[in-house]
Amino acid sequence: MAPLRHAASGAAGDWDGRLRHHAAQRREMVICGAHGGAGTTTLACWLSPAWDMGAMRPARDPGPPAIIAHGRPLLLACRNTAAAATAATAAVAALTRPRARVTVLVVVSDGWPQPPAATARFRLLAPHVGAVVHLPFVPALRLADTPAGVPLPRAARRALDQIRAATGRPITT
Does a structural domain hold residue 135? yes
Does a structural domain hold residue 100? yes
- Could you give the CA distance from residue 106 to residue 83 in angstroms, rounded to a whole number? 15
Does a structural domain hold residue 49? yes
Does a structural domain hold residue 171? no
* CATH number of 151's domain: 3.40.50
CA distances from 83 to 24, 38, 78, 127, 141 (A): 36, 12, 10, 20, 22
Does a structural domain hold residue 54? yes
Does a structural domain hold residue 74? yes
Q: In the chain, how many domains are there? A: 1
Does a structural domain hold residue 8? no
- Could you give the CA distance from residue 7 to residue 127 in angstroms, rounded to a whole number? 39
pLDDT tens, 30-58?
Answer: 999 999 999 999 999 999 999 999 998 76
Domain, as residue range, for 102:
29-166
Positive/negative CA dihedral, 166, 168, 169, 173: positive
More confident residue, 9 or 140: 140
Q: What is the mean pLDDT of residues 137-149?
A: 93
pLDDT tens, 106-127?
Answer: 999 999 999 999 999 999 999 9
- Could you give the CA distance from residue 39 to residue 20 in angstroms, rounded to a whole number? 30
Does a structural domain hold residue 6? no
Q: List Cβ neighbours of 33 (8 Å cut-off, separation of 6 or more).
A: 39, 40, 53, 54, 55, 56, 76, 77, 78
- Could you give the CA distance from residue 64 to residue 136 in angstroms, rounded to a whole number? 28
Question: pTM, whole model, 2 decimals?
Answer: 0.81
Tell me the three state secondary structure of residue 33: strand
For residue 35, list its beta bridge partners.
Answer: none
How many other C-beta atoms are found inside a 10 Å radius of the C-beta of residue 38?
26
Tell me the three state secondary structure of residue 134: strand
pLDDT tens, 74-102?
Answer: 999 999 999 999 999 999 998 887 778 89
Residue 119 falls in which region: left (phi positive, over 0), alpha (psi -120 to 50) or beta? alpha
